[in-house]
Each structure stands twice: as C-alpha cells, then as structure tokens.
C-alpha cells in the first residue's frame, strides 16, 4: 500500500483530511480570536487571484467598486424587519469607544455609546441609506456598486474557510428603475458567478433558486450556485438576491420617473466569499494535498534545481534563470505565466513534497544531466507524485500554454464527472429516505417537490436541505411532490450540505 | 474676474475648498455612522490604483500578503504596555454577540462576552501572537508580511480621508534575526514609500525620523515621509517603525540561532492609508477642482463627442470608438491607457466641467469638423479650462505617452517648487515665534533643535509640531538648539500639520 502525504485520507476521515490539507499547504489556521482565522500567504494569494478574476468580470459588466462603513447603528439595521431578524442572533456589537485605567493596574471600558453599533454581517442597511440620498431621478439609476470587505457573523461552530466569524467577501448592491431590470441584473450575476466558478475555479455548479425557507432575510428571490464536494455534500458557492422593493421601502430609495411621478427603486444584492477557497479545496484536492486549477494557482510552475556541488549549482541555477526569463514572456489566461524558482538549501525530496502539498500544477526539475540533453523533468500535480516526463526544453516552453489549459480542463472534467455520477433522480419518499439514511451515500437528489416550508418536516430529520430549484428544467413537465403528493412543475435538488 | 468651479477658492477658505473639491468630484462623503466616511466610486478607483502600484512594489521587494482577524482580545493588546496606552482612548470595543427581543417590540443586547474585543487600531498584537507560533528557528526568518485592511481609531474631530474613525490602509509587519536587518528593512520601506509618493502620487516628500514625542506607541524609532499641502501645512504621508525587541518580548517571538541558542526576533511595522488621497487632493488640486497625476487617475483620457443630430452622432461615435481602439493598445506606466468615452445625453459644457472637477488629465473633444480635418481638440487639466489644442489624431495617439509623462512630471515639479519655496531655515527662537504667529504664513521650518520632550513647551503654544529629523543632513555640522541653547548635530523640521 502506497503512503499518502495527507493523513488521514479522504476515505478515512474526510473532515480531518480537510484540516490537514489546509495545514500542509500553509493556507490558514484558527487564531486565538474566537471563530476567526488567519489567512496565511499561500491561502491569501489564492484569494487575490480569485479577487482579480472576479473583479475583472464585474468591471466588464459595468460595476464599480466603493467602500461603506464597517459599523451600522442598530436603528439603521432595524428598518428592514425580516433582515434584522435573520442576523440578530449572530451580530458582534460595539458598545464602548475607549479604555481607561481602572485604578487597580488594569483597564476598564469607557465612552459608552448612546446607540450600539453592529459590525456589518452584510451591508444592505448602510448602502440602502446612502442610495436613498444619491437617487433623485431615474437618470441616477441604475447604480451598480460592488464592495470588497470583511464581514462578521458570530458563528457557533466554525471551520476554516467554510464558516468563520469574520470572513472576506465581495457584496454587490444595485438599484434599478424597474422590476424587470433588477431581475435581469440578479440573473446576470448568477450567470457570471457560474461562469467564474466553472472556468476559473474549475468547479461545476448547478444554478437554481433557493426555496422560501432558504431565502436571504429580506429578499423576494434568492438564486444560488451549488457545488458538490468530494464527500458528496453540497456547498453553496455564491448567491444573488432579487430584493424587490423591500429595501427601497425600508430605506426610502425613491426616484422621479420621466413622467415626474415618484417611484420606489428595485434593488439586488449578491456575494461570494473566502468560502470559495474551502470549496476549491474540497472539490479538487487528493490524499497528497491541495490540487489547484492553474487559473488561481499562486505559482503555475515551480522549478526545482538539482545539484551536488558548487560547480553544478552555478550551471543549474543559470539554466533555471534562463528558463524563467523565457517563461516570463508567455501569457496564460491574459497574464504572465507565474514561475517560482525554489533555490532554498533543502533536500530535493522535501522540497518536491512541499510543492505537491501546496498544489502547484507543474513541477520542473533541472539537473546537470537534463541540461546536457537540453531537457527538463516535468511532473504534473494531477498525475502520480513520482511520475516524470523528460521533455525537450524548447518543446516544454512552446507547449506550456496547452499544458496549463489541459490541466485546467482535466480538473474541471474530473469534478464534473464526479458531480454527474452522484446526481440522481428519486421518485418516492421511501427511496429518498433510504438514500439519505445509509452512512456513506450522499449526493444531489433531484425530486418533484413543492416549494413550501411544509416539506421541512420530511427532510430535516434526515439532515438534508433543499439546495435549489434548478433553473434548467423542462418547462412543460409536471409531477407530484414526493412528500405531499401535490401536483407541481418543478424539481428540487436536495442534499446534505456545508 | 474669472469664475472658478469650486467655491470658496483656496485663498478664501482652504478647509471648505477641500470639502468642496471632494464633493464636486464625487469622491467621498460622511456617512450617518459617526466619524465614518463612504468612499464613493471615483475616490475608490484612485485607492485601487494606489493599492496596485504599492502592492507591486511590496511584492517586488519580497513581501507577501495575508489577512489577520479584525478583533483583538483586550488581554492580547495589553501585553505591550506603551502600545495599549497609545490607543486605549480611541478603541471601538465589542462586548456582545447578539440581539434578542426585549419583549417590548424592540431589541436588546445579548451574548455578553467574557472578554471585551477591540476592533484593531493596528495589528501588532495579533500578528505578534501568530509570529510567536510560526517562528522556531532562524530558518523561519525573515517573515515579510503585508496586510490590506480596515482599521478603527475613534477620532473626535474627523475630516474626509485625512482623519476618519475607520480607514483603509496597508500594514506591513516583519520579523528578523538581527537588529541590523530589521533597521535595513525599516529604511528600505521608507525609501519605497518616498519613491512611490514622488513618482506615482507626484507628491514631493521629506524623509526623516520622528522625534521621541511623535513616535509610534511601542516603537524604538519611527521614520516618516512628510508632504506639504497648499496651505503650507505638513501631512504625514507614511510611517515605518523599527520596533526593536519590544514586541518580540511582549509576544514571545523567539528563535534558535545557528548555534542553538534562543534569541528574540527584531521586528518592524509600517503603513500608509487612505489619508494619502487627502494628501493627493491638497497637493495638486486647484480652484476648478481635483487635479490627478496620470499614474493614479481612474481615466487618463475622457472623450467628449460633439454632435447636433443623429447623423453627426453616428459619425462622431464611430470615430471615437476607432480612437479608443487605437489608444487601448498603448501602454503607460506598464498599463493600458485608460480611456473613457462619455456618450451620455448631456450638454457638452456640463460634461466638460464634470470631468474638470474630477481631475481627469486629458479631455478630448471630437466633433464633425475635427473629423473632417482628422484632428482632435485636446484640453489638459493643468492648463486653463478653456484652452484647446487642435492636434492631428495620429500625432495625438503617437504622443500620448509623452503627454502623460509630461503632465505627471509637471504636476510633481509644481508641487516640488511650492514645497521648496516654503521651506526655510530659522536660527533664533524669536524668528521662529514670529514666523508661526502671522495668520497666513506657514511652511516647513528647519532649525537646530534637540530631540527632547522639553521643546514641546516652546512649540505647542504656536500649534506647531516637530515633523521630522530629516535623514539628509550634513553629518559634520553642529549647531545650538534654538529653544534650549544646547549643542546638537541635527536640524528638525517644524510645521503646522494635519
């Protein structure tokens, strides 16, 4: 039996495997601050690539970035009743503005605030308040603003990247003249998220609408992309909300239409977060650690020089620098190929395994014998760790773009096959119950079901939730809800979820 | 008398002029959250350019980004006594983690925390705590980490960009094996900040060391760059701190040296913030509004199509798109030239003034008569608003890089001349007092003075502070402190300051 770099393996203990992949890649760790993580440089570099790719897409579709305050007065958040209800239990609240000597060698709180301030769990309240000031006429619309920020939700059970009290995200907030335009925006962003997840994160997703029970507090409709992890659980990877006129009513966002009449604006909000990194890990990684799609890998290629003495070292490093210069001129995904030369004074095997565990797509060994033959020894992260291909250096450089494209496609295809294989249709309540009752079964289950809180009593005991009502459905089909027997037109996807 | 776009003018009321420049360019505004501003899209786009340019420089010098928690347990911050003393009076403090129904239709605080949490005013405490875990051996050093984040300091008197309770910044935190290496890092960053301020923000600065009174709480030495605003006041534009072993002692950052002995690490920290945008505004803007150096301008060029009917509109917009395509291929400062076509249905004069007030370096009018002559009407923000040069289109495109470079250089030179003109040497206490006592005088005053809290009693009544002890001084000179008469080797720069 071959040993793996990560212990336990996925099969042995999936949740623990997940923690070990993160630790072995130096991506993040829990901090001494309750429920809050430190995103370490390797994890943060992945987030920067995610930000860059997503930001490019948001700007290309006419959105601009801005920044709104971290703290929200309680009275401001209370204006939308359902909204505050949804977040009340998990808000960090600021009550004082200073510390002073307590006369006993310690410090005590001072500057009690007249009104408590809530650390934003999301920013509809403050952004709605500002939009109400900015919007007078239909000419001021649409407003298409995005914010990159930290937010806080006081979670009881936390897990690195997937659920932390503080997390990083982008939150878009738009205001429009009409119902139709706002719905179009909501769906445009859903498509943008899905395209981003599939092409950049190599993470296949199902696009759908959330059921009423799973809706964002205060929204009319919530749309989402749902991905499947390697334990067959679902991960909500992004949401896009059509808020109707709920927030424009609460915050008084009104405009004069061309006929001079006052109307309420129609708003949307949408976001993805550092949770995507958790999804990325659980979609692609294996028992040797992280596997990164080239589009978000901090390095595409790591060069590992091999030498036994100073003379060889000089020769090999020169060759590496030469190779690096050539690779620096090549574009992948509209950016320079990211090459790192690891010239640390460390055992070759240790180095090699470090980069395997960090998920770098391509490792290139360069030694005196390779140089003599003008070739390099190329290892690919998605192939067995000891497999090497000896490739002519010119050919390697010439093909690097294809190679990266192929790796990206291969990772996506593997994840897609897994998701497709583990998506089933179930047509009776008995089969549904049986499916989710066995220990290691799981996956996406598509059933006829009504969008009604009533079905919760059937699914909750199984620790299953309605993930979404997929958008891609036969519009003329009709079936009977497997729980209530009622006729209905939509299938719902159910799964256990993060 | 010609009318200006901004009222009042700088001469009439400088502080109010500043507010009006920001309002007229739609850069930012105060929010209903006490002391906190909203950075609007135009202001934020400038911040994004600042981030991009600075981030590139930090990465090129071996730094990597990471992210640490927003909230700091009180006991953690208390570990460095001087540090907590410096920030205690202005900390936002979280004491509860939720809200619940108060039984009277309102909400009350719940989930009282065992220990209060402070919203970071700066992150030495949490980063020091993590470094202590990460550092075991000299091989783990140096650690060169930067963080882009929001921080909070409860300021009593706030002013957009210059002083707000929440602001955005980058904070670098490094740990080293030796005193020498840490000092080198501190000064390397100071140089990097100065180069960035001068070449990108076109803002001339003086590099110097802070006096003991002005030092960062907990630092051994604080270095800074000081810029001069158009009201001759100083603005501290960036600081770099050598922390010695103060924080490694407080947080227990220790390493085994090559000889197997335990040593304390040497640390540094450094930062610049959204305050730079305030500095940018006050250094370059004029009585017609914002003036932006091309290197940080969200748009380098705005194209203003001129037409009277649909036929002309079609012709003109086609020409504009053609021009845009050609300009899109040109690089300035290693990036694509940023061109915006303003095709809004709005009066030409209104449009033109909007872009003047937003500080766009180059405005290009394109009308049917220009097209007939294959020329464009070019206006430069640094020239009188009605001045236009009719330039052959090919020539304009061919020279765009030079033109942007020249504008950048011109803006810098103008600011440098202003600073140089308003920097004086003063050699007696009487002259010093006289200089700072007249209403509209001001500037940088260089004097022989000792670095001792004793001199505060002479300068404080004049509302003057020691800005820095410039690094660039004659090492062999010697003088007598104008306040105390003591012999000393260094001149200090004094000024009124933001």
CATH number at residue A330: 3.40.50.800
The neighbour count for residue A384, using CB atoms within 10 Å, is 10
Q: What is the pLDDT of residue B284?
A: 98
The neighbour count for residue B259, using CB atoms within 10 Å, is 7
Query: Does A315 lie in the same domain as A169?
Result: no
- Domain of residue B205, CATH code: 3.30.930.10
Domain boundary among B284, B309, B329: B284
pLDDT digits (tens, 9 = 90+) for A399-423: 999 999 999 999 999 999 999 999 9
CA gap B239, B236 in Å, rounded: 8
pLDDT digits (tens, 9 = 90+) for A284-338: 999 999 999 999 999 999 999 999 999 999 999 999 999 999 998 898 888 889 9
**Model ipTM value:** 0.97
Domain assignment of residue B484, yes or no: yes
The neighbour count for residue B64, using CB atoms within 10 Å, is 17
Query: Does B264 lie in the same domain as B303?
Result: no
Phi/psi-derived region of residue A250, left when phi > 0, alpha when psi is between -120 and 50, beta in every other case: alpha
pLDDT top residue among B157 and B279: B279
Is 90 exceeded by the pLDDT of residue B50? yes
Question: By the 8 A CB rule, do A194 and A292 touch?
Answer: no
Q: What is the DSSP string of B231-252?
A: TS-EEEEEEEEE-TTHHHHHHT
pLDDT digits (tens, 9 = 90+) for B293-302: 999 999 999 9
Q: What is the pLDDT of residue B83?
A: 80
A336 in B contact zone (CB under 8 Å)? no
Strands (E), A155-233: 166-176, 205-209, 221-228
A86 in B contact zone (CB under 8 Å)? no
- Point out the least confidently predicted range of A388-397, B1-10, B205-214, B416-425: B1-10
CA gap A21, A28 in Å, rounded: 10
Question: By the 8 A CB rule, do A205 and A211 touch?
Answer: no
Distance, C-alpha A263 to centroid of its chain: 36
Percent share of chain B, pLDDT over 70: 100
Residue B348's pLDDT band (boundaries 50, 70, 90)? confident
- Entry field: residues in chain A: 498
pLDDT-flagged residues of chain A (< 50): 1
For helices B393-421 and B275-284, angle between their N-to-C axes, nearest 10 degrees: 100
Contacts of B47 in chain A (CB under 8 A): 67
Question: By the 8 A CB rule, do A208 and A224 touch?
Answer: yes
Question: By the 8 A CB rule, do A331 and A390 touch?
Answer: no
Residue of B nearest to A88 (CA): B99
CA gap B69, B79 in Å, rounded: 17
Residue of A nearest to B70 (CA): A166
Query: Does A161 lie in the same domain as A37?
Result: yes
A380 in B contact zone (CB under 8 Å)? no
Q: Minimal CA–CA distance to B93: which of A398, A448, A245, A110?
A: A110
CB contact under 8 A, B71 and A31: no
The neighbour count for residue B239, using CB atoms within 10 Å, is 23
The neighbour count for residue B318, using CB atoms within 10 Å, is 12
- Dig out the tokens for B272 from the structure: 């610049």
Query: Does B260 lie in the same domain as B392?
Result: no
At A490, give phi and psi (nearest 5°): -130, 140
Residue that has been written with the tokens 């583990």 in this structure: A422
E strand or H helix that includes residue A282: helix A275-284
Q: What is the DSSP string of A458-488?
A: HHGGGT-EEEEEESS--TT--EE-TTT--EE
Contacts of A43 in chain B (CB under 8 A): 66
Min Cα distance A395 → chain B (Å) is 29
Contacts of A129 in chain B (CB under 8 A): 31-32
Q: Minimal CA–CA distance to A109: which of B46, B456, B154?
A: B154
CA gap B357, B290 in Å, rounded: 5
E strand or H helix that includes residue A380: strand A375-380
Helices within A267-336 (DSSP H only): 275-284, 310-327
pLDDT top residue among A331 and B192: B192
**Of B25, B26, B38, which to mutate for an interface test with A (greatest number of A Cβ within 10 Å)?**
B38
Residue B2's pLDDT band (boundaries 50, 70, 90)? low
Q: What is the pLDDT of residue A2?
A: 62
Query: Does A443 lie in the same domain as A366?
Result: no
Contacts of A168 in chain B (CB under 8 A): 67
Domain assignment of residue A34, yes or no: yes
DSSP A214: G
Domain assignment of residue B2, yes or no: no
Domain boundary among A223, A252, A284: A284
Domain assignment of residue A94, yes or no: no
A125 in B contact zone (CB under 8 Å)? no
Domain assignment of residue B136, yes or no: yes
Min Cα distance B297 → chain A (Å) is 15
Report the DSSP pairing between strands A389-392 and A339-341: unpaired
Is 80 exceeded by the pLDDT of residue B27? yes
Q: What is the pLDDT of residue B394?
A: 95
- Half-sphere CA count of A90, side-chain side, radius 13 A: 18
Query: Does A161 lie in the same domain as A30?
Result: yes
Contacts of B336 in chain A (CB under 8 A): none
A64 in B contact zone (CB under 8 Å)? yes
CB contact under 8 A, B96 and A76: no
Report the mean per-residue pLDDT for chain A: 95
- Dig out the tokens for A52 from the structure: 């860059």
Q: Which residues neighbour B148 within 8 Å (Cβ) at sequence distance 6 or greater?
A: B51, B55, B65, B168, B169, B170
Domain assignment of residue A104, yes or no: no
Strand pairing partners for B389? B378
Domain boundary among A259, A284, A309: A284
Residue of B nearest to A97 (CA): B92
CB contact under 8 A, B32 and A129: yes
Q: What is the pLDDT of residue A87?
A: 87
Of A31, A66, A94, the CB nearest to B126: A31
Q: What is the pLDDT of residue A1?
A: 46
A229 in B contact zone (CB under 8 Å)? no
Query: Does B123 lie in the same domain as B189?
Result: yes
- Dig out the tokens for B267 from the structure: 């640390």
**Of B29, B65, B70, B80, which to mutate for an interface test with A (greatest number of A Cβ within 10 Å)?**
B70
Q: What is the pLDDT of residue A351?
A: 94
Residue of A nearest to B151 (CA): A70
Cβ contacts below 8 Å, chain A against chain B, sum to 181
Q: What is the pLDDT of residue A86?
A: 85
| Count of domains forming chain A | 3
Mean pLDDT over B399-410 rounds to 96
Query: Does B460 lie in the same domain as B354?
Result: no
Query: Does B82 lie in the same domain as B192?
Result: yes
At B476, give phi and psi (nearest 5°): -100, -5
Radius of gyration, CA atoms only, chain A: 26
Q: Can you give the pTM of this predicted structure?
A: 0.97
Residue of B nearest to A344 (CA): B139
For residue B355, the enclosing domain spans 299-405
Q: What is the pLDDT of residue A105?
A: 81
Report the mean per-residue pLDDT for chain B: 95
CB contact under 8 A, A64 and B45: yes
Residues of A (147-166) whose Cβ lies below 8 Å from B: 149-150, 152, 154, 166
Q: What is the pLDDT of residue B5?
A: 96
Of A43, A66, A88, the CB nearest to B100: A88
Residue of A nearest to B45 (CA): A65
Query: Does B275 lie in the same domain as B318?
Result: no
CB contact under 8 A, A32 and B73: yes
For helices A179-199 and A41-60, angle between their N-to-C axes, nearest 10 degrees: 140
Query: Does A169 lie in the same domain as A141?
Result: yes
B76 in A contact zone (CB under 8 Å)? yes
Contacts of A111 in chain B (CB under 8 A): 154
Q: What is the pLDDT of residue A280?
A: 98
CB contact under 8 A, B84 and A99: yes
Residue A8, preceding peptide bond in cis (omega within 30° of 0)? yes
- Domain of residue A463, CATH code: 3.30.110.30
What is each CA distance from B425 to A206, A308, A313, B214, in whole angstroms? Answer: 71, 62, 56, 21
Can you count the helices (H) and strands (E) in chain B?
A: 14, 27
B84 in A contact zone (CB under 8 Å)? yes
Residues of B (17-46) whose Cβ lies below 8 Å from A: 31-33, 36-41, 43-45
A107 in B contact zone (CB under 8 Å)? yes
A404 in B contact zone (CB under 8 Å)? no
Query: Does A308 lie in the same domain as A280?
Result: no
Of B43, B90, B129, the CB nearest to A98: B90
Is 50 exceeded by the pLDDT of residue B203? yes
**Of A23, A26, A29, A32, which to mutate for an interface test with B (greatest number of B Cβ within 10 Å)?**
A32
CA gap B92, A333 in Å, rounded: 43
The three-state (H, E, C) secondary structure of B33-69, written as one string: CCCCEEECHHHHHHHHHHHHHHHHHHHHCCCEECECC
Is 60 exceeded by the pLDDT of residue B492? yes
pLDDT digits (tens, 9 = 90+) for B428-466: 999 999 999 987 778 999 999 999 999 999 999 999 999
Contacts of B78 in chain A (CB under 8 A): 107
Mean pLDDT over B300-329 rounds to 95
Domain assignment of residue B169, yes or no: yes
Q: What is the pLDDT of residue B102?
A: 87
What is each CA distance from A42 to A23, A55, A220, A358, in whole angstroms? Answer: 11, 20, 38, 8
Question: By the 8 A CB rule, do A464 and A496 touch?
Answer: yes
Q: What is the pLDDT of residue B1?
A: 45
Domain assignment of residue A85, yes or no: no
What is each CA distance from A420 to A205, A449, B119, B492, in whole angstroms? Answer: 10, 21, 45, 71
The neighbour count for residue B395, using CB atoms within 10 Å, is 12
Strand pairing partners for A93? A118, B96
With 0-12 / 13-18 / 19 or more C-beta atoms within 10 angstroms meaning exposed / middle / buried, residue B208 is buried
């Amino acid at each position: 039996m071959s040993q793996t770099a990560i212990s336990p393996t996925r099969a042995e203990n999936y949740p623990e495997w997940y923690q070990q992949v993160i630790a072995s890649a130096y991506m993040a760790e829990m901090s001494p601050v309750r429920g809050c993580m430190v995103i370490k440089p390797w994890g943060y570099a992945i987030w920067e690539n995610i930000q860059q790719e997503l930001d490019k897409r948001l700007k290309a579709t006419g959105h601009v970035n801005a920044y709104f305050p971290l703290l929200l007065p309680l009275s401001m958040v209370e204006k939308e009743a359902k909204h505050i209800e949804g977040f009340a239990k998990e808000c960090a609240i600021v009550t004082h503005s200073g510390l002073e000597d307590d006369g006993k060698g310690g410090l005590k709180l001072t500057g009690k605030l007249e009104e408590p301030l809530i650390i934003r769990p999301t920013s509809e309240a403050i952004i709605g308040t500002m939009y109400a000031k900015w919007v007078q006429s239909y000419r001021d619309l649409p407003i298409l603003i995005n914010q990159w920020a930290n937010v806080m939700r006081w979670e009881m059970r936390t897990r690195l990247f997937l659920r932390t009290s503080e997390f990083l995200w982008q939150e878009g907030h738009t205001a429009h003249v009409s119902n139709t335009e706002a719905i179009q925006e909501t769906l445009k962003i859903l498509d943008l998220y899905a395209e981003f997840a599939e092409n950049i994160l190599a993470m296949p997703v199902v696009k759908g609408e959330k059921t009423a029970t799973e809706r964002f507090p205060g929204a009319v409709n919530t749309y989402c992309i749902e991905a499947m992890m390697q334990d067959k659980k679902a991960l909500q990877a992004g949401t896009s909300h059509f808020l109707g006129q709920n927030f424009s009513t609460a915050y008084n966002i009104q405009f004069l239409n061309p006929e001079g009449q006052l109307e309420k604006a129609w708003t949307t909000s949408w976001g993805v977060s550092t949770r995507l990194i958790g999804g990325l890990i659980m979609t692609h990684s294996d028992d040797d650690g992280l596997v990164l799609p080239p589009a978000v890998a901090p390095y595409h290629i790591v060069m590992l020089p091999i030498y036994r003495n100073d003379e060889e070292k000089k020769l090999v490093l020169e060759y590496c620098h030469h190779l690096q210069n050539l690779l620096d001129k090549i574009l992948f995904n509209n950016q320079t190929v990211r090459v790192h030369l690891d010239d640390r004074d460390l055992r070759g095997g240790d180095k090699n395994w470090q980069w395997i565990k960090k998920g770098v797509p391509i490792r290139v060994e360069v030694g005196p014998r390779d140089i003599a033959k003008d070739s390099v020894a190329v290892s690919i992260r998605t192939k067995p760790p000891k497999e090497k291909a000896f490739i002519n250096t010119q050919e390697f450089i010439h093909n690097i773009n294809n190679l990266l494209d192929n790796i990206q496609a291969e990772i996506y295809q593997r994840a897609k096959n897994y998701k497709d294989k583990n998506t089933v249709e179930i047509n009776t309540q008995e089969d549904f119950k049986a499916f989710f009752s066995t220990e290691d079964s799981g996956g996406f289950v598509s059933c006829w079901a009504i969008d009604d809180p009533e079905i919760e009593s059937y699914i909750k005991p199984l620790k299953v939730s309605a993930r979404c009502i997929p958008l891609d459905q036969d519009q003329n089909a009709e079936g009977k809800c497997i729980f209530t027997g009622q006729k209905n037109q939509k299938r719902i996807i159910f799964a256990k979820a993060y």
